[in-house]
Structure 1
């Protein structure tokens, strides 16, 4: 239940099989300047009812990865699996079920809605197409239920409205309602809150969080803002991307509370922090050698981040490309992966007793409060 409304489906039993699995995903585009590897081998999993936040600067390949995961583009190499089945090997019936189970929420709430359709027409189109409703009365009742799920109440005030009559936050809630019409297992949110005011952003994130908890929907959440990732995915995972590759991946409290990769530290240092002591600590960790991002058509040798990395060591970072490997095998760090020669070397040298950091003691590692998280 959400408020007084019945959820569109029963909560599913938890499964060990990932909802979505990306294996060696690559996406290369042919351009006038030559091939551009927008995504260069990404391995990710989204589990039922869990959140995976994909974080990074603009142009790092987040949206390209998301579009491949949603089946909107065919990857150059690698595989996209939904519930253990490669989407390219699906039958027509399985493909239809996949298209209903995985829904995409776009970044721009103004461009994502057809300006000639009312809210009712937008919400009922998919319901009618897939035979979920049989009559106009049933479709209108279902559309009203969806609006209540996303807290657009009373729904009668919105059903016959056109997009230009709605605010940005209301439009984005309509987009969320449209995605819920198909009873999805997975929502792919591509910067879905970035164009909204801060107060509306928090409200929408709270709504998405309730949908995640009540309906057991999994999320692949794309954002460039680590503050948003920290708030929405505290009980989930964060994967940090740089120039088409994941450079750090792990549980959110670990990635936020004790970042290992220099790029992750730089992203955290760029977050606005009201606590002056924490803000000073974050800024001290930035210190990039360069603000210029290398071109995808002329990537540097070795680690792609080395021209900007404050931990750069000649002869190490610029000679070979680091692999994404487990940073620690201790139980409290299970699953943390980092792609960095220096971090891997330092961890290998450290004694086990030096790697038992308690995350409650790390500045900024506590669960964020709504009023201070974003």
Structure 2
């Protein structure tokens, strides 16, 4: 295997370096018996080498659909997914193979994402064998041993011949990470990859992913519904907050978490549990006008969030959908904030 820590291509990214993976106006509309469902309604995102972009929002807001389009596991209804500036939909077979190597996906459920009849050795080495990166069982065993050690499954020899049912959820998810690393990816798309793990195991896995980001220069599109996890993992990166298929706030993590602007982001931040009882009593509590999320088949006119928004202004918020525009240190989609 190639030692990526010695590869100059994985040095610190330059500020002017173009994104490895970019989404440009991607939309995904599902045809259902109840009508068209706009799961993703025009999203622009960029993932750069060695950087983290967290996509945050409630369940059902379109995060996973966006992630699947970014990985080319589903084609967008409209818009483009670009890899190194090239539209994935227009790639030839060789370009598509390079894309498949460079963009890897870690699924949410470690109990379902691994083949139950394959050992760890077989699972992690499958891609290496398929693409001719190893020759023979001995070389495959050595390569997989290195990968398991890199994701902190040690001693690796204890795991090589185990089956998924013989490991814990955290161990299985580390195997999934090792499988992704086997292809020397430039970007890893992690779809709620820690949500099914215990808190202590979750932090340990996030630390491992952060180390891989720093050592290997891997970019992350990290999907989560938990702002606390996003804050921990992407403190030096960015957060994009999604609501009903649209990004409503996007900016550097410290600014978005410590000074949320969009009313929906403020509501998410206020819902995060504060373990310090003294601080918990002084925190702002955002009260929404309604707890009901609009039906995607019958979205309200104007801003999608206005039926729940505490900052709602009649005649503006309920007539025109706000665009996502630059406002100081971030992007915002809110009439009240961007027109004031």
TM-score category (smaller protein)? over 0.9
Whole-Å Cα distance in 2 between the matches of residues 249 and 277 of structure 1? Answer: 30
Residues 198-245 of structure 1: per-residue CA shift (max 9 Å, x gap): 000000000000000000000000000000000000000000000000
1:313 match? 313
Q: How many residues align?
A: 335
Using the size of structure 1 for normalisation, the TM-score is 0.88
Confirm or deny: 8 A CA contact 1:24 1:78 kept in the other structure: yes
Whole-Å Cα distance in 2 between the matches of residues 111 and 196 of structure 1? Answer: 14
Once the 2 structures are TM-superposed, how far is the Cα of residue 105 of structure 1 from its aligned partner? Answer: 0.1
Once the 2 structures are TM-superposed, how far is the Cα of residue 275 of structure 1 from its aligned partner? Answer: 2.7
2:155 match? 154
Residues 72-114 of structure 1: per-residue CA shift (max 9 Å, x gap): 0010000000111110111110100100100000000000000
The answer for unaligned runs of 5 or more in structure 2 is none
Residues 155-211 of structure 1: per-residue CA shift (max 9 Å, x gap): 110000000000000000000000000000000000000000000000000000000
2:7 match? 10
1:186 match? 187
1:363 match? none
1:344 match? 338
Once the 2 structures are TM-superposed, how far is the Cα of residue 143 of structure 1 from its aligned partner? Answer: 0.5
Whole-Å Cα distance in 2 between the matches of residues 265 and 277 of structure 1? Answer: 20
Whole-Å Cα distance in 2 between the matches of residues 36 and 260 of structure 1? Answer: 28
Whole-Å Cα distance in 2 between the matches of residues 159 and 278 of structure 1? Answer: 47
2:22 match? 21
Matched, 1:247 2:248: yes
Once the 2 structures are TM-superposed, how far is the Cα of residue 313 of structure 1 from its aligned partner? Answer: 1.2
Whole-Å Cα distance in 2 between the matches of residues 317 and 162 of structure 1? Answer: 54
1:37 match? 38
RMSD between aligned residues: 1.3
Aligned pair in 2 of structure 1 residues 182, 321: CA closer, same or farther (>3 Å)?
same
Q: Secondary structure at the match of 1:228?
A: helix
2:289 match? 289
Once the 2 structures are TM-superposed, how far is the Cα of residue 278 of structure 1 from its aligned partner? Answer: 3.7
The answer for unaligned runs of 5 or more in structure 1 is 1-5, 347-374
Confirm or deny: 8 A CA contact 1:18 1:83 kept in the other structure: yes
2:304 match? 304
Confirm or deny: 8 A CA contact 2:5 2:215 kept in the other structure: no
Once the 2 structures are TM-superposed, how far is the Cα of residue 327 of structure 1 from its aligned partner? Answer: 1.1
Detail structure 1 runs of 4+ shifted over 4 Å in the superposition: 6-9
Q: How does 1:71-220 map to 2 (within 5 A)?
A: 71-220=72-221
Confirm or deny: 8 A CA contact 1:273 1:279 kept in the other structure: yes
Once the 2 structures are TM-superposed, how far is the Cα of residue 9 of structure 1 from its aligned partner? Answer: 5.9
Whole-Å Cα distance in 2 between the matches of residues 153 and 265 of structure 1? Answer: 41
Whole-Å Cα distance in 1 between the matches of residues 310 and 112 of structure 2? Answer: 40
Whole-Å Cα distance in 1 between the matches of residues 43 and 4 of structure 2? Answer: 34
Aligned pair in 2 of structure 1 residues 63, 306: CA closer, same or farther (>3 Å)?
same
Whole-Å Cα distance in 2 between the matches of residues 49 and 91 of structure 1? Answer: 27
